[in-house]
Structure 1
Amino acid sequence: MNVRRTAFSRGTRAGAGLTAGLMTAAALLLGGCSGGSASSTGVPGAPGSGGGSRSTAAAGAVDGLVAEEQPASAALMPSGSTAAKIRSRGTLVVGGTRTAALFSLLDPTTGRVDGFDAAMSQLLAKYIIGRPATKLVDVTSATREALLRSHQVDTVFATYTITPERAEVVAFAGPYYEDGLAIEVRKSGKALSSPEDLAGRTVVTQSGSTAAAAVKKAAPGAKIQLFDTNTECLQALQQGRADAYVLDQGILAGNAARNPDVTVSGRTFSHEPYGIGLPLGDPGFKHFVDDWLRKIESDGTWAKVWRATVGTEVPGAAPAPPRID
């Protein structure tokens, strides 16, 4: 799955302090304890986070940001362009998930999908169409490329790490966020704080993610089990069918904030830059989305989205967005 030279993993650059802040936040939480069609933002009902009132405030903040987003001018979407076709259709089809806390998580009490990725997809829809009209198509780490190649989705917002291999079959706008792989364990289980500690252990991660290869490289003796979703991996860990769960630290921290029986152990050990997945062979649309990212970063919208989503669980000021490459 899947960075952001921004908050969680900035082991390279000035992110170490924020990584430590995330770990502290998760520990404090555990100690105390998507708009349009399918997106918006917030961390619904996180234990120790003030419950529904906090998530409601976060969702309201994102709704306000979406309302303020100004649509792109017609000059930026010439006839025949992908953006113009999406505007004419009236819906942005987004590949995403409903199971990643802090990024894209379904709140069953409201039917909203909330989080950083969910909010970003709503903002892009507003920019293209003039209203936050999205259709969410559920994806997994193993299905994202296929859905983009077959043009069943316009974009993928799903903690999607940019890698050279993936860039051969899909295009990426961004990166727009940065994270790093980390280890989640049961609080009652064995303390495993480094990749080397995973040797001989049963480790779960998501199929199609970058984590499996990283674990094999760091701990060749680890027994790796693959599941399609974050929920399945988390359940395997909680039920004792696995000793550790390795994935992006942000997703694991979201799990820990909502489940007091698990915790994120140690620091990140990889560099995971998230990109917005786009169909290959459409440089005009990639340029359009990259320019939109630059706009929301420069006008402060990106930082406000971070504060309303990830920032509800991570203390401190919003980090600088990663450099768009």
Structure 2
Amino acid sequence: MKNFIKVGSIFAIALGITLSMGGRTFADQHKNQVLNRIENKDKMVWGTKADTSLMGLMNIKTGQVEGFDVDVAKEITRRINPKAKPEFVQVTSGTRIPLLINGNIDAIIATMSITPERAKTVDFSNPYFKAGQSLMVKKSSEIKNINDVNNKSVTVLGVQGSTSVEVIKKRAPQARVLALADYATALSALKAGQGDVLTTDSGILAGMAKDDSSLKLVGGNFTHEPYGIAVKKDNPKLVKQVNQAIQAMQADGTYAKLMKKWFSGVPGMNWKEMAKL
């Protein structure tokens, strides 16, 4: 009887070890799947915006998405796997995370701010763009920074439901805030004189200012909301390689060249300062 109990105990221990090892093997198999896919297929599929000037915008002549995000993605792909070709899938703010989780894309580079809430669902790289809330005015405006906005005579334009509207109410409580349906409507209102300043993410404002010589950015960023590259969780090796690529781009001057290429012509934007991550 004692021998039976002893044999049974040994069997139970052995079974436990086997199951434990099997569990670890199963978990290991599900780690770094995205990087393995990139290496096996020699391509990296990126989710990018196609409606944001300077960052990711569809060129109707070529049918290709162009912008800072796209160029950064191409560089990172090359540095991760020289044989891999970058491919781009158009995403919106609402579709980008579901597409990533479902495996339709390998990474997101789409004006995506790093936030604690999003980090519960995806893993982020180190910042690749020094974004934050900023201000855009007409070139004739005397507004120079956020302090000038905190005045009862100033009307600030924003977009309904955006965090920028709530932030500006706190940072400039004396100003009148007018939240409109979308950025196109807010931009039209600014140009028509229905507001004194438009506030939102600096990356979005840069595209607007670049396309309209009557506008300029002022005051720099008054919040810190940098963009990051998002990847599916349980892919630490890919995150590490993306971070290494970003660091290498800064070290060899590639990052500064891309900043100059896309943002040197934006009135009121200091691209050299923006290039210092």
- Structure 1 length normalisation: TM-score? 0.61
Residue equivalent to 1:293: 246
Which residue pairs with 1:122 in the alignment? 74
> 1:272 maps to what in 2?
225
Q: Which residue of 2 aligns with 1:40?
A: none
- Please give the root-mean-square deviation of Cα atoms over the aligned residues, in Å: 3.4
Q: Which 10-residue stretch deviates more, 259-268 or 118-127? A: 259-268
Counterpart for residue 214 of structure 1: 167
Whose radius of gyration is greater, 1 or 2? 2
Shift of residue 85, structure 1, vs aligned partner: 0.2
User: What per-residue deviation string (whole Å, max 9, x for no partner) do you get for residues 164-203 of structure 1?
Assistant: 2222222110112213311223557895853534898462
Percent of aligned positions with the same letter in both sequences?
Answer: 28
> Judging changes above 3 Å, is the alpha-carbon distance between structure 1 residues 215 and 289 closer, same or farther for their aligned structure 2 residues?
same
8 Å CA contact 2:113, 2:226 repeated in 1: yes
Task: Report if the CA contact (8 A) 2:38-2:44 is conserved.
Answer: yes
* CA deviation after TM superposition for structure 1 residue 258, in Å: 1.4
Alignment of 1:307 with 2:260, yes or no, is yes
CA contact (8 A) 2:42 2:85 kept: no
Answering whether residue 162 of structure 2 is matched by residue 203 of structure 1, we say: no
Q: What is the aligned partner in structure 1 of residue 127 from structure 2?
A: 175
Task: Give distance in 2, aligned partners of 1:319 and 1:135.
Answer: 25
Tell me what 1:98 maps to.
50
1:162 paired residue number: 114
Partner of 2:65: 113
Given that residues 184 and 265 in structure 1 are in contact (C-alpha distance below 8 angstroms), is that contact kept between their aligned partners in structure 2? yes
- Partner Cα separation in structure 1 for residue 186 and residue 171 of structure 2: 20
Q: Which residue of 2 aligns with 1:282?
A: 235
Contact 1:185 1:245 in 2 (8 A): yes
SS at match of 2:217: strand
Q: Displacement, 1:119?
A: 0.1
Q: 1:222 to 1:231 in 2, by over 3 A?
A: closer
1:248 aligns with 2:201: yes
Q: Matched residues in 2 for 1:316 and 1:304: separation?
A: 10
* CA–CA separation in structure 1 for the residues paired with 2:35 and 2:100: 16
SS at match of 1:273: coil
Answering whether residue 178 of structure 2 is matched by residue 223 of structure 1, we say: yes
How big is each residue's C-alpha offset from its partner over 1:103-131, in whole Å with a ceiling of 9 and x where there is no partner? 22333333343222110111223334524
**1:83 aligned to which of 23, 30, 35:** 35
Is the aligned partner of 1:152 residue 2:104? yes
Equivalent-residue separation in structure 2 for 1:182 and 1:273 (angstroms): 12
- What's the secondary structure of 1:274's corresponding residue? coil
- Closer, same or farther: CA 302–111 of 1 in aligned 2, 3 Å: same
The structure whose RCO (Cα within 8 Å, separation 6+) is larger is: 1
Quote the residue 1:136 is aligned against: 89
Counterparts of 2:265 and 2:144, CA distance in 1: 27
Aligned-pair CA distance for 1:134? 0.9
